[in-house]
Amino acid sequence: MRKLLIIAAVALLAVCCAKEKSPKILVLYYSQNGGTKAVAEAIQSKLGADIEAIVPTIPYDGDFQATIERSRKELDGESPEIQPVVSDINSYDVVFLGYPIWFGTYATPIETVLKEIDLSGKKVVPFCTFGSGGLDSSIQDLKKKLPDTEILPGYGVRAARVEDAPEEVERFLVAGGFVEGEGQALEDFSEPRDVTPDESALFDAAVGDYPMISAKAETVASRAIPGGMEYLFTAKDTPREGMPDEMAGRSIKVYVLVEDGKAPVFTQVLR
């Protein structure tokens, strides 16, 4: 009997220790128009984590041009004031940090967060929404700003595809080991090859309704994904109204997703 009690006590201790070792997670995000908030809530729901919104003291009014003009001034001067973050950051092991992409990087309220909150020694998982891209560049900027913080791979989604975020978030969290599930490892992209006329038409269909992309596909790599195909096009910018002369002719990379029964869509642009 005594032996059984000892075994039970050891087992209970092991369970308690395992629970104690589970990382404490905070989802901290800024959202202007609700897209990043939707992604943040999808992450929080899957993780059962704490969540808090970053709130600028003077709100952005949602007007695109006004936001552009204000954030440009903030990039050249002082970052915006924000309301105090209520969460005790010191008590968390992992912070999922969310933001929209402005000027190719995290929105300026995040700059204030990085100045006012000490994230050193923690794991930070970036997530963002964007018009065409910016996840990779924002992660590089975070690494420069936070040299003593471990920046983990992030998740990004076009604002036009936010409705697809919950399913993609689940796959992302499984792949990162944050939740249990059957994650299917994706195969590598094939070697790049010259585009065929059909692939060129596919590229044009994917980017045709987006005014900030004017490009001609040159090469493509592809891979099978669950329920479809993913393509990585290398394309060359072609002149468009408002494009600086030095940008015309530069090479860009465009990810295009073709799911079974759906029209092709681009998911990210790397410039």
Listed by start position, the domains of the chain span: 21-175, 193-270
- DSSP assignment, residue 164? G
Interaxial angle between packed helices 165-175 and 35-47, expressed in degrees from 0 to 180 and rounded to the nearest 10:
50
User: How many other C-beta atoms can be found within 10 angstroms of the C-beta atom of residue 85?
Assistant: 16
* Rounded Cα–Cα distance for residues 114 and 116 (Å): 6
Across the range 154-171, mean pLDDT stands at 95
pLDDT of residue 64: 84
| Model confidence band, residue 248 (pLDDT cutoffs 50, 70, 90) | low
Rounded mean pLDDT, 120-136: 97
The phi-psi region of residue 232 (left if phi > 0; otherwise alpha if psi is between -120 and 50; otherwise beta) is beta
Residues 22-57: tens digit of each pLDDT = 899 999 999 999 999 999 999 999 999 999 999 999
Show the tokens assigned to 68: 């552009």
Query: CA–CA separation, 217 vs 253, rounded Å?
Result: 9
User: What's the whole-number average pLDDT of the chain?
Assistant: 89
Provide the pLDDT for residue 8.
38
3-state secondary structure of 18: helix
CA distance 155 to 29: 13
pLDDT on residue 218: 97
Q: Give the model's pLDDT for residue 11.
A: 40
What is this structure's pTM?
0.87
- pLDDT of res. 242: 54
What's domain 21-175's architecture? Answer: 3-Layer(aba) Sandwich (3.40)
Evaluate if residue 190 carries a pLDDT over 60. yes
**Over the stretch 63-79, which tens digit does the pLDDT of each residue have?**
888 999 999 999 998 89
